[in-house]
Amino acid sequence: MEEMIFYSICSVEDLPPGERIFLELKGTPIVVFNIDGNFFAIEDTCTHDDGPLGDGDLEGHEIVCPRHGARFDVRTGEVLALPAVTNVRSFPVRVTDRKVEIGIED
């Protein structure tokens, strides 16, 4: 079983509600969202065609892929609409000492 390691990515103040940031951890592109003070992280790659996902419109907790309109729940990575049929990878997020941290299995 792999160990979960949390990486500090920014302060809470650096990611205000309604905003998102893009980063890469361990070779994986990730987008982190602040939705009403809650933080969520998913892989920034649509499972339909490997295109960027994080630039899409955010509607509630759904991200809409800007290329073909697939939808995913940013809380879980669950696919919600075609043409994607496979969930996108999601990552645990926590706040420690006002720092946003993302967990990745090592």
Structure confidence by residue, pLDDT tens digits, 41-98: 999 999 999 999 999 999 999 999 999 999 999 999 999 999 999 999 999 999 999 9
Model-level pTM greater than 0.75? yes
- Indicate the domain borders of the chain: 4-105
Q: What are phi and psi of 15, to 5 degrees?
A: -130, 80
CATH node for 4-105: 2.102.10.10
Dist CA 52 CA 8 (whole Å): 23
CA 90, 95, 99 angle in degrees (round to 5)?
Answer: 110
